[in-house]
Structure 1
């Protein structure tokens, strides 16, 4: 049997330990004082948040009402433990039996060698996996609970199970044990310091650093594609990027990013910037950079985002370039706004957008995936009450929601690295962007949750009315291109697949590899992921995929060939500021640099 731990023990320096403990005590006192001062005004008690308590109470009552089911589940657990004990005994006698359970291939928690090579930790790992599987199966098979409540129970049970993983505790994590012995416990002291710093930065709420926040600065080492802000209003700045080619396509390209995140995911670094790639292909690129709203914009709604976003941008682009017609693209929520805008323009006989591209965009919200667990009357009403007090949805709340969808990767891995191992997070531009949260105006976000997720009105003829105009996507006849991602957990591709069928013109649906971000930010030079395409959209998603052709490389080049017929002839490049709109400031502009947490 492999030796459990044999590193050299380090004796900590008493002076350094004293300094560290003193600093920890000072920070702790400050945080406790701040926490107590804030409670009377801001704390949300368990009484105000009864949603999950009711669900778990109902599940318990159902289980107790069917003792036979509970007994059978318990017997099943005993049998699996017997198998595990037999396996453990065989290991002691030098045998190598097949494991009773193994982690999923995507589960990165048990990659350390000791989880496989050390009998004790292998036993702990398998015990946890078997118990976690039993708990989740028991919840899944409780009878008499409606499907929505059951999905919530399954989701939050998984959060509970993930939190109790042996990797999250020093005494049952071999990597942490080794680090503790080798450093004489300095890792835990450093980890406690990191924890207190994150609490202080989050003003009493835990805001785990995913990356070195001091390693990046917008306009210097990320979001560096040259351009100028040429227009702005209360909700957005419009950036016009500097051309790099001898000639450009006649029709400009307008990009609508989501306002739930900042735009520079499309312009992180030169080698993976979609913005720079577009410019280098000969497009005159305009991009909307949404404001990070405060309480003064609480009354801004979805209609305002359309009028002051894409419609205002179209007017500005004409002044800047003299061109009325553009190609437009929207990412995620920006794509939902683009769809509504196209329907509004179709009703108004406005033909300025000649094609629409949708990145991981949901238009039919009937199957929203895991996000559905957060969308019911109780939870939306509770969120609305909170937004009424602030005037906006705090960006950290939305960031936490998305992190919960991949808790092991986006929460617990950093908990282990920062607090148990006492390491500094690695500088990573993508995680810097992910930590750069944005707020959302209360009225707009309430409309979005209720009219899109809860009532699914956009896909219904006349379901949504903008300025007295009922929206009908079937009247949109311009060509549209959908790119979705096969592993997307925010906008599941089988849900986005319904979107193209709602339009009245030529449509194309392409399925890319990876997830919500990497599936889109996939430059041709990287050669990481493939994509699938199939012109027949009449079938269900699974049948479509079975009949699709697979191509290696990036979907970017596929899109370029699709959009070229709508780009117009080549013309001389347009420099920002040469038209009727003068330069306000350099890209990336001031709206995007406003951070919620330093």
Structure 2
């Protein structure tokens, strides 16, 4: 009987995996339940319906005035919406089309937002789906009605459309080959070129030690834990904007984890395996090589979440090697985890787990698709118009090239991450286990330096900020301009950068996020020097640099940076 149940379960998983390929990984059951919830609640609210009809009538009246050439109220696109920036959209029938579209967009937003009785979860889903459908129908998506496309076609005698067809064929060929076409900027050649050596390797990580560039270094080394959802070299891009190179130049011995890009063979790796084989194995290596009593640990995005888990487990086990902890756009409390919560509920996770089970991992294209949908008007449709209709070539910079170098997520680990952290919020609520025993964020005693970014839609700064509610230790919070990646890669000299910073002493009073900026000190420029100043204040007198690796203690130099795992695609 058990064997029959298991076989039937496998059949269900195979079906869901096939469905996921058609729906982009979205659960149709979740979507249908959300729409049913919205329809039933809005249908039972005649007052709300009358209000929406009045707004629609007002909109039609303003559009009629606009069509007749009379003065009319105009709506401006959202700041992040770049589809209608060209002056050619401000005149004639194109101006009317833009206003009609923006008013429709606004009406649907009103209809799907704050419907009394509708669950927040379903409300977010309905609003999101409505936005996606409307984005598909934007007037800019139709080449025969897009004034920019018409003008370019006339000026080039159709060369833009011929180039667009060529781009389309190239993209089809790339998709047919698995999307592993050469990167515009190659790791080890154009990016990830800070000199160093691989001093440790296991089945999950390579550990890179970077060569010193100063005569002396601080006795406390820095260990960087990047996210496994991305290649580590977001922190070691070109020489001018490499965080790793900058830290080395400031007199620190820097180590960085390079995660393996897993495939189906690693399907059963757990989140605790990532802690044990990743963070803890790297800490052991750094301790052996440097002989340091204290280590400055830095975690980025998911790597910061994992570092926090490791730090809490170390505090529980009386392991006091962490001198400081820096978290870069990393969440620990997931109750306000931003737009990614659209994809996180029981129905969606059950569907996604079955899709991952079938192939053993979450494919990078599936993850990238989810992120693109969050900003489809900018990342999908505007890119389509530029590349296929206007015939413009891509001119990728180092960060754009890195963004194409995506990684996979092991089935079991990613399912645990999404369910235990995102859905159940076990880490913040004291239910999360590491090494078989529960941990608490309150146990962490190392000083914390936490970065949030102003326009982060992956780890919103309000969510990152919530760590203060769970830990009363010394806490320095920095809010920097930019998004999830650009806000972190914010090197000195970068134009139009600013940040605000506020320190809370041990057991200091909590400042709500809406009041925080009024009390913080705001400064123009990069936050990197402020971070180094903070690290210097937590570090000892400079000493001679340690050797590269430690052969006598089992950590010989195995390879030159950037190692081998970075090239797995």
Question: TM-score, with normalisation over the residues of structure 1?
Answer: 0.86
Q: Which residue does the alignment assign to 1:417?
A: 386
Q: Which residue does the alignment assign to 1:341?
A: 310
Aligned counterpart for 2:435 among listed residues 467, 487, 491: 467
- The secondary structure found in structure 2 opposite 1:155 is helix
Indicate conservation of the 8 Å contact 2:468/2:510, yes or no: no
Superposed, which structure 2 residues align to 1:318-333 within 5 Å?
318-333=287-302
**Residue deviations 1:28-49 (CA, integer Å, cap 9, x gap):** xxxxxxxxxx999945456973
- The secondary structure found in structure 2 opposite 1:425 is coil
Number of aligned residue pairs: 547
| Alignment of 1:53 onto 2:27 | no
Superposed, which structure 2 residues align to 1:130-529 within 5 Å?
130-140=103-113, 142-203=115-176, 214-461=183-430, 463-529=431-497
Greater Cα shift, 387-396 or 51-60: 51-60
**Residue deviations 1:315-372 (CA, integer Å, cap 9, x gap):** 1113323334311000111111111111111111111111110111111111111111
| Alignment of 1:555 onto 2:527 | yes
Q: CA 1:151–1:571 in structure 2 vs 1: closer, same or farther (change >3 Å)?
A: same
**Residue deviations 1:117-151 (CA, integer Å, cap 9, x gap):** x3221111111111111122122254432111011
Q: CA 1:204–1:460 in structure 2 vs 1: closer, same or farther (change >3 Å)?
A: same
TM-aligned CA deviation for residue 515 of structure 1:
1.4
C-alpha separation in 2, matches of 1:48 and 1:585: 44
C-alpha separation in 2, matches of 1:297 and 1:190: 41
- The secondary structure found in structure 2 opposite 1:202 is helix
Q: CA 1:48–1:223 in structure 2 vs 1: closer, same or farther (change >3 Å)?
A: closer
Q: CA 1:428–1:459 in structure 2 vs 1: closer, same or farther (change >3 Å)?
A: same
Indicate conservation of the 8 Å contact 2:38/2:122, yes or no: no
Greater Cα shift, 242-251 or 464-473: 464-473
C-alpha separation in 2, matches of 1:180 and 1:409: 22
Greater Cα shift, 191-200 or 246-255: 191-200
TM-aligned CA deviation for residue 433 of structure 1:
1.3
Greater Cα shift, 531-540 or 262-271: 531-540
Greater Cα shift, 219-228 or 139-148: 139-148
Superposed, which structure 2 residues align to 1:526-545 within 5 Å?
526-536=494-504, 538-545=510-517
- The secondary structure found in structure 2 opposite 1:126 is helix
Question: TM-score, with normalisation over the residues of structure 2?
Answer: 0.91
Unaligned regions of 5+ residues in structure 1, if any?
1-37, 92-96
- The secondary structure found in structure 2 opposite 1:592 is helix
C-alpha separation in 2, matches of 1:250 and 1:544: 34
- The secondary structure found in structure 1 opposite 2:252 is coil
Q: Which residue does the alignment assign to 2:10?
A: none
TM-aligned CA deviation for residue 411 of structure 1:
1.5
Q: Which residue does the alignment assign to 1:87?
A: 66
TM-aligned CA deviation for residue 452 of structure 1:
0.6
C-alpha separation in 2, matches of 1:267 and 1:389: 34
TM-aligned CA deviation for residue 373 of structure 1:
1.0
Greater Cα shift, 420-429 or 50-59: 50-59
TM-aligned CA deviation for residue 59 of structure 1:
2.7
C-alpha separation in 1, matches of 2:182 and 2:382: 17
Indicate conservation of the 8 Å contact 2:16/2:354, yes or no: no
RMSD: 2.4
C-alpha separation in 2, matches of 1:278 and 1:82: 60
C-alpha separation in 2, matches of 1:255 and 1:531: 22
C-alpha separation in 2, matches of 1:39 and 1:375: 20
Greater Cα shift, 41-50 or 403-412: 41-50
**Residue deviations 1:464-505 (CA, integer Å, cap 9, x gap):** 122233212212111111111121111111111111332253
Indicate conservation of the 8 Å contact 1:319/1:579, yes or no: no
- The secondary structure found in structure 2 opposite 1:259 is coil
Aligned counterpart for 2:101 among listed residues 128, 134, 143: 128
Indicate conservation of the 8 Å contact 1:417/1:425, yes or no: no
Indicate conservation of the 8 Å contact 1:231/1:584, yes or no: yes
- The secondary structure found in structure 1 opposite 2:102 is helix
Q: Which residue does the alignment assign to 1:106?
A: 80
Greater Cα shift, 330-339 or 519-528: 519-528
Q: Which residue does the alignment assign to 1:76?
A: 55
- The secondary structure found in structure 2 opposite 1:477 is coil
Superposed, which structure 2 residues align to 1:59-70 within 5 Å?
59-66=38-45, 69-70=48-49
- The secondary structure found in structure 2 opposite 1:397 is helix
- The secondary structure found in structure 1 opposite 2:69 is helix
Indicate conservation of the 8 Å contact 2:17/2:355, yes or no: no
Q: CA 1:61–1:417 in structure 2 vs 1: closer, same or farther (change >3 Å)?
A: same
- The secondary structure found in structure 2 opposite 1:53 is helix
Indicate conservation of the 8 Å contact 1:365/1:452, yes or no: yes
Q: CA 1:203–1:48 in structure 2 vs 1: closer, same or farther (change >3 Å)?
A: farther
Indicate conservation of the 8 Å contact 1:500/1:509, yes or no: no
Q: Which residue does the alignment assign to 2:6?
A: none
C-alpha separation in 2, matches of 1:39 and 1:479: 49
C-alpha separation in 1, matches of 2:532 and 2:351: 44
TM-aligned CA deviation for residue 98 of structure 1:
5.8
TM-aligned CA deviation for residue 168 of structure 1:
1.4
TM-aligned CA deviation for residue 577 of structure 1:
4.0
- The secondary structure found in structure 2 opposite 1:497 is helix
Q: CA 1:40–1:344 in structure 2 vs 1: closer, same or farther (change >3 Å)?
A: closer
Indicate conservation of the 8 Å contact 1:228/1:576, yes or no: yes
Q: Which residue does the alignment assign to 2:3?
A: none
C-alpha separation in 1, matches of 2:204 and 2:252: 25
TM-aligned CA deviation for residue 568 of structure 1:
2.0
